[in-house]
Structure 1
Amino acid sequence: MTKIAVVGTGANGAGIGADMARHGLDVTFIEQWPAHVEAIRERGIEVRMPDRTEITPVKAHHLCDVATIREKFDLVFVGVKAYDTRWACELVKPLLHDDSLVIGLQNGMSIDDMADVVGAGRTIGAVIELASNMWEPGITNRQNPPEESWFAVGSISPETEGREEEVAAALRHAGTVEISDDIRSSKWMKLIVNAAELVPSALLNLELNTAAEVPGMYDFMLACGTEAARAALADGNRLRPIFGMEGARLDEPDAFAEQLFEIVLTRFSLPDTKTTSLQDWLKGRRSEVAEINGLVVDVLERAGQDAPFNRLVVDLARQVEAGELPADPANLDLLLSGVVAR
């Protein structure tokens, strides 16, 4: 039987891993929150969805247990924050064999960090779209159950071409899975909508849909997304449909960015959905603003272009994380006037 590890079993990782374990796959959790590991060991992982709750027994290890694990894993799903990718991959590298595959279930463009550590021939890129949150150890609140969740997987090296189905077969227990022939572009498409939604709404300390309804905010968020679409193209990628979207306007970056944003708002976000960035701040952690909005700024800067909307998001997010500015609806004025003033 295929041996699977999930490294980083927060809200999304725990739900996805639970789906695979519940369907009989051999799954091991490796997790950095001690209380979470102990809760899973005691009572299993509890996944609360809008219409049902499922509790699944699963093996769970603390990070400090990794040195005691002797088995090798065939598939390793990485669910830590993008900025934690390198150390997480180094941690599990001794648990890989030559033909293992490591899959990044993360935002941002972490695939290159993964490949640097474990090798491109063992790296599979992935795109994930589902909303969930975690506030208590051992419990994940999954707002999009498997029948509403979406994934894409793809190779970044000829060495793994043809092996994507090994990953897709496991992930199909957690949602719809597409195999992408250009996973780098697919991941950039997700980054387009992440740039629009995650940190901009968190700066107002509001749920995603609530933030998008604040006068002026939808246009600001969309401007962040359109800058990200231009960055994707400047970085040598191509616009391509994700989330199973139909009628994608691939020849119009601005219109395409709005299509993506609307899909997330209407299909994947509930009225009480807080973005992962807002969840991070509420837990006292830093966000992935550097890996998302910051990347947009950097890519366009290298291309001789500016990204004033994303640059402002990065600036304000750094103030929030430095304790100099609270995340608050009052930041709307800073967002809407800041770009004009530049």
Structure 2
Amino acid sequence: MAILIWGAGAMGGSIGAGLVRAGHDVIFVDNVPEHVAAINRQGLKIVGPIFQDIVSAKACLPEQVEGRFDCILLSVKAQHTEAATRALEPHLAEHGCVVSVQNGLNELVIKEIVGAERTIGCFVNFGADYLEPGVVQYSGRGAVVVGELDGKSSVRLTALHRLLLDFDESAVLTNNVWGYLWGKLIYGAQLFATALTNDSIADCYANPTFRPVLTALGQEVGAVARANDIETQAFNGFDPHAFAPGASQDLINKSLDDMVAFNRRSAKSHSGIWRDLAIRKRRTEVKPQLGPIVDTGRKIGVSTPMTARLIDMIIEMEDGKRSFSPENMAELASAAKAA
């Protein structure tokens, strides 16, 4: 059966194109009419260092979708998860599943709408950007991980993993998808901090002035994960042990150096957060991505002053009340000191 990819932007477009190239039947859904029209007219063009191709696949707007599907890959911005899940639910087969190819803890939202039994967790860390209607840049390989929310194995999970191997031969099947998702929250919080400047991701991680700030922020989010009984997982140079209490400076520096090296290899120099602020001039995912960290910390008694301040600072940038500046990093660090 066809695989429905709901959200044909950076992540969804890259995965969908890879699956089409592997011989799978893919249908793209997107809410940007110009993007849908371009894909139907001339195919989806993928540029970048991994592969360059134009793949042919059907594309439609959400209101044009017909039929029900066993597998729907949801790849929209976190703030659109609820609306997108409600829109796709009528098209999900009774025993089908929604796979969250997103950043954040969107599985919590999805399972409340379609049910936990029809939700599969997914973690991705490859680089990609939507460039213009009909064109996506697949910038660099990164982790692709899938797992059942309860950590159990299943026939459908094995089948999904086999499918994703056709996109990335290093795709991982895990019994601890929450560990990867929370690990990405630590890394993701740091990426939001890098978006306070105009420097690239790699340059921010390499900057000796920024490193203490990024480390403290990572340790704050890591403390919430640990108190929530989450065993965070390593990926692409990110080592959760480097952001644990008492971590040696050597271990911290090694993880930061490894993340610099990983990001230097990608054609994606800046985060999607920075692109939203600097180029696309639109709201970021800051509240749905980082908000759950603050909320969880509040519930279990772990203070998150840096994360809370970072959310406010990104919103100020969205509102045009703050500019890109290295001084923003120092202001972020002061939040922890004030607390």
TM over 0.5: yes
Q: 1:317 Cα deviation (Å)? A: 1.0
* DSSP 3-state at the match of 2:204: helix
Whether the 8 Å CA contact 2:72–2:98 is kept in 1: the answer is yes
Q: 1:294 Cα deviation (Å)? A: 2.7
User: 1:285 — aligned with what?
Assistant: 282
CA–CA distance in 2 between the matches of 1:87 and 1:246? 32
In the superposition, the TM-score normalised over structure 2's length comes to 0.89
User: 2:13 — aligned with what?
Assistant: 14
Q: Which amino acid aligns with 2:324?
A: A
Q: How does 1:173-192 map to 2 (within 5 A)?
A: 173-175=166-168, 176-192=170-186
* DSSP 3-state at the match of 2:111: helix
Q: 1:182 to 1:259 in 2, by over 3 A?
A: farther
Q: Which amino acid aligns with 1:168?
A: H
Q: Which amino acid aligns with 2:300?
A: A
Whether the 8 Å CA contact 1:229–1:257 is kept in 2: the answer is no
CA–CA distance in 2 between the matches of 1:313 and 1:234? 21
CA–CA distance in 2 between the matches of 1:125 and 1:338? 33
In the superposition, the TM-score normalised over structure 1's length comes to 0.88
Q: 1:257 to 1:155 in 2, by over 3 A?
A: farther
Selected match of 1:316 from 313, 316, 328: 313
Whether the 8 Å CA contact 2:222–2:244 is kept in 1: the answer is no
User: 1:102 — aligned with what?
Assistant: 98
Superimposed CA distance per residue, residues 192-224 of structure 1 (whole angstroms, 9 cap, x where no aligned partner): 111112x10111133211223344212212221
Q: 1:140 Cα deviation (Å)? A: 1.0
Taking only aligned residues, the RMSD between alpha carbons, in angstroms, comes to 2.5
User: 2:133 — aligned with what?
Assistant: 137
CA–CA distance in 1 between the matches of 2:268 and 2:21? 27
Q: 1:268 to 1:164 in 2, by over 3 A?
A: farther
Whether the 8 Å CA contact 1:241–1:248 is kept in 2: the answer is yes
Matching of residue 220 in structure 1 with residue 213 in structure 2: yes
Matching of residue 327 in structure 1 with residue 327 in structure 2: no
User: 1:265 — aligned with what?
Assistant: 260
Selected match of 1:150 from 137, 143, 150: 143
Q: 1:237 Cα deviation (Å)? A: 1.2
Q: How does 1:156-171 map to 2 (within 5 A)?
A: 156-157=149-150, 161-171=154-164
Q: 1:280 to 1:168 in 2, by over 3 A?
A: same
Q: 1:114 Cα deviation (Å)? A: 0.6
Whether the 8 Å CA contact 1:103–1:123 is kept in 2: the answer is yes
Counting aligned pairs with the same residue, the percent is 26
* DSSP 3-state at the match of 2:171: strand
Q: Which amino acid aligns with 2:128?
A: S
Whether the 8 Å CA contact 1:128–1:151 is kept in 2: the answer is yes
Whether the 8 Å CA contact 2:151–2:175 is kept in 1: the answer is no
* DSSP 3-state at the match of 2:8: coil
User: 1:37 — aligned with what?
Assistant: 36
Q: 1:114 to 1:262 in 2, by over 3 A?
A: farther
* DSSP 3-state at the match of 1:143: strand
Q: 1:32 to 1:254 in 2, by over 3 A?
A: farther
Superimposed CA distance per residue, residues 151-202 of structure 1 (whole angstroms, 9 cap, x where no aligned partner): 11111248973421121111112212111112122211111111112x1011
Q: 1:91 Cα deviation (Å)? A: 0.7
Q: 1:247 to 1:193 in 2, by over 3 A?
A: closer
Selected match of 2:80 from 74, 80, 84: 84
Q: 1:38 Cα deviation (Å)? A: 1.1
Q: Which amino acid aligns with 2:148?
A: S
Whether the 8 Å CA contact 2:219–2:244 is kept in 1: the answer is no
Whether the 8 Å CA contact 1:121–1:159 is kept in 2: the answer is no
Q: Which amino acid aligns with 1:325?
A: R
Count of equivalent residues: 333
CA–CA distance in 1 between the matches of 2:317 and 2:239? 38
- Segments of 5+ residues of structure 1 without an aligned counterpart are none
Q: 1:109 to 1:259 in 2, by over 3 A?
A: farther
Whether the 8 Å CA contact 1:240–1:250 is kept in 2: the answer is no
